[in-house]
Amino acid sequence: MMSERIRLDYSNLLSALSEEEVFALQPEVERCHTLLHDKSGPGGDFLGWVDLPGRICPEEVREIKAVAAFVEQDVDAFVVIGIGGSYLGARAVIEALGHTFSHVLPRGDSGAPNIFFAGHHLDGRYHQDLLEYLDGRQFAINVISKSGTTTEPAIAFRKLRRLLEKKVGIERARELIFVTTDAEKGALHSLAQAKGYKTFVIPNDVGGRYSVLTPVGLLPIAAAGVPISELIEGARAAQKWADNPDLRHNPAYFYAAARNLLYRKGKKIEILLICHPALAYFSEWWKQLFGESEGKEGKGIFPAACSLTTDLHSMGQWIQDGERTLFETILQVDTPDGIVRIEEEAENRDGLNYLAGKDMNDVNAQALAGTALAHREGSVPSMALRIPELNAHYLGQLIYFFEIACGLSGYLLGVNPFDQPGVEAYKKNMFALLSKLGYEEQREALLAQLKEQGSGKVI
């Protein structure tokens, strides 16, 4: 069992905050810690994730692994249908730990099927291309939805289920469709019961963006060949040290407290700076986690993400010299994968011989160090999350770190971190414009608004 843990380096934060300011929040932190663990705060009905790592059912894990073993033998592609928290956590882990170019290999580098995602937007070309690709291959489906009526995944499931049944027949398709949904109700639950699909349960007390350690995330992650037991053990390790509310010993709580103090000082934007492309979708999961949890009641830090060194050649100028309303959190892998050494060349026309013999990861590390120093000189405070290496165990720690930090941070901010009332606004308008029954009056009002806009000024 791994004894190391991820650590928070806040050295470059002290230009903007003192340790005394952070530690002065200890009483507030302890109050919010109690709200989380007693499930007595706003949104308490959705706090099942707080102690989830320690109570994940071994039988459920065995069932998930059995499905993963089945699809590894029987299919070339595994299609995950979901949107928001129903797919981002799984995709974050799969892309962090999988082969960078798995989709151009015959199968995923673990021997598992290649993983594809659908139902996370409404773009016709994407889904047309996916249907064309799958038409010539053996594939299975994992559809993830609490209700089964969320527009984006429901459309994708209808199309993909029809294709699968056409290819292999209704009886065989029944064996290749796996449903993750509510235990008792909803359109998808009813369909799964009627069709006889293998089902997994979304816990009622865990919201979508906190659900990666439930079957919502664990089934796709296992199907991709990731050792989910190690992911769970990492989260359990983090849960143990996160139970301590002392800011001097709990890096997740220190992070939550520091970001709230920065917000109170006018730092309204947080940039998650990643140093490895494999973490790109982890940053997308992080953006949803904090954006949907904190962005309400006219409050909230805006979560953005940049990739080093790519975005230093695009967003780097703004970060260095733009309005001083931001701070950074850096994800730093201490021992990254991939040894690619730079050779010496006799002519040295590109001037790179001073790097001869160095590993590209060494160059990347110095680029990060130089960036952190430059941003500190440019009055951009930063914290660095130090990850010993990028594997399932430490990724499990990182997931729980951000989940517990987000819950505490939302309570410090004074909002309910476990609802998302603003998400419904676009849905109501979309339903009305698409002539869904029950939205007739709204449709007429919206069409009038669109007509008025259409007669406006256009260049």
In the block, residue with structure tokens 């002065």: 24
What does the pLDDT read at residue 296?
95
Q: Matching CATH topology for 7-38+232-413 and 53-226?
A: yes
Catalytic residue among 20, 171, 313, 452: 313
Q: Distance (Å, rounded) from C-alpha 271 to C-alpha 371?
A: 13
Q: What is the pLDDT of residues 396-408, one digit of tens each?
A: 999 999 999 999 9
Cα 350–356–362 angle (5° rounding)?
105
Coil vs helix vs strand at 387: strand
Q: What is the pLDDT of residues 296-343, one digit of tens each?
A: 999 999 999 999 999 999 999 999 999 999 999 999 999 999 899 999
Catalytic residue among 270, 292, 328, 403: 292
Domain 53-226 CATH class label: alpha beta
Domain ranges of the chain: 7-38+232-413, 53-226, 425-454
Active site residue 427: yes
What does the pLDDT read at residue 3?
60
Domain 7-38+232-413 CATH class label: alpha beta
Catalytic residue among 265, 427, 428, 440: 427
What does the pLDDT read at residue 109?
60
Regions of the chain short of the pLDDT cut 50: none
Q: Distance (Å, rounded) from C-alpha 234 to C-alpha 392?
A: 7
Coil vs helix vs strand at 308: coil
Active site residue 189: no
Who contacts 416 (Cβ-Cβ below 8 Å, separation ≥6)? 41, 42, 43, 296, 410
